[in-house]
């Protein structure tokens, strides 16, 4: 009888932990990612990233507290009042840079292998760009002000081809090219 009580209590604890972790992960994903905001100080676009873990933990206890983890104006303006956070409470999903890039890759093919892009993951195996100079570039190397221009002047490249091109660039002595007739 006592064993059944312990098993029931253990099962309830496991279920509570499962749903707590699931809630935490979903909330972290909701707040995670880089977002484009208008800096209240300059009136210009800036790229910010919310501390998703802190937001998820405070959301778990009922009062979401948003804090910036990164801003494109830092470290120079790191001690600002972070008034831009007010924009994030009501900001649509489209302000996420990730969403803009996912839409850009949709219905496109890789400049090298010509394979169509599957729904992209911006966490790992991130797609890249082929710039007009013929070099593949990762998105984190593109300044926020240059994102729109890059989407016009560059071609999409899948992660596999980007890695292969990068290896070829960095280790040309280790690459053997074979041409099939």
Q: What is the pLDDT of residues 29-79, one digit of tens each?
A: 667 777 777 787 887 878 888 887 887 777 777 676 778 888 888 777 777
Assigned domain for 180 exists? no
Residue 118 lies inside a defined structural domain of this protein: yes
Q: Please indicate, yes or no, whether residues 35 and 13 belong to a single structural domain of this protein.
A: yes
Any domain includes 179: no
How far apart, in whole angstroms, are the C-alpha atoms of residue 159 and residue 169? 15
Residue 68 falls inside a structural domain = yes
Q: Are residues 86 and 117 in the same domain?
A: no
- Tell me: do 81 and 33 sit in the same domain: yes
Same domain, 77 and 109: no
Identify whether residues 82 and 108 lie together within a single domain.
no
Dihedral Cα 132, 138, 144, 150, nearest 10 deg = 20
Question: Is the model's pLDDT at 157 over the cut of 90?
Answer: yes
Check if the beta carbon of residue 84 is closer than 8 Å to that of residue 65. Answer: no
**Domain extent at residue 40:** 2-94
**Integer Rg of the chain from CA:** 22
Last residue within a domain, chosen from 94, 111, 146: 94
Q: Are residues 16 and 60 in the same domain?
A: yes
State whether 114 and 58 are in the same domain.
no
Whether 30 and 85 share a structural domain: yes
What span, in angstroms and rounded, lies between the C-alpha atoms of 149 and 14? 50
Pair type for strands 155-157 and 136-138: unpaired
Query: Of 94, 118, 146, at which residue does a domain stop?
Result: 94
Residue 47 lies in a domain: yes
Number of domains in the chain: 2
- Domain termination site, one of 38, 68, 94: 94
Same domain for 81 and 122: no
Report the chain's mean pLDDT, rounded to a whole number: 79
| Residue 27, phi-psi category: left (phi > 0), alpha (psi -120 to 50), beta (remainder) | alpha
Q: What is the pLDDT of residues 77-118, one digit of tens each?
A: 777 877 777 776 544 454 556 667 777 888 899 999 999 988
pLDDT of residue 115: 95
Contact 103, 94 (CB under 8 A): no
């Amino acid at each position: 009888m006592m064993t059944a009580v312990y098993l029931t209590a253990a099962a309830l604890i496991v279920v509570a932990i499962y749903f707590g972790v699931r809630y935490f992960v979903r909330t972290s994903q909701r707040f995670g990612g880089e977002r484009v905001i208008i800096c209240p100080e300059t009136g210009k676009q800036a790229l910010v990233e919310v501390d998703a873990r802190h937001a998820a933990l405070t959301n778990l206890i009922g009062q979401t507290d948003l804090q910036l983890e990164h801003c494109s104006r830092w470290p120079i303006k790191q001690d600002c009042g972070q008034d831009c956070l007010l924009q994030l409470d009501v900001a649509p999903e489209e302000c996420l840079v990730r969403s803009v890039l996912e839409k850009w890759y949709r219905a496109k093919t890789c400049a090298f292998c010509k394979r169509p892009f599957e729904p992209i993951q911006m966490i790992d195996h991130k797609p890249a760009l082929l710039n007009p100079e013929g070099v593949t570039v990762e998105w984190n190397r593109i300044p926020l002000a240059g994102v729109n221009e890059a989407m016009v002047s560059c071609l999409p490249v899948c992660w596999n081809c980007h890695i292969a091109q990068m290896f070829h660039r960095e280790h040309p002595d280790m690459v053997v090219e074979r041409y099939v007739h």
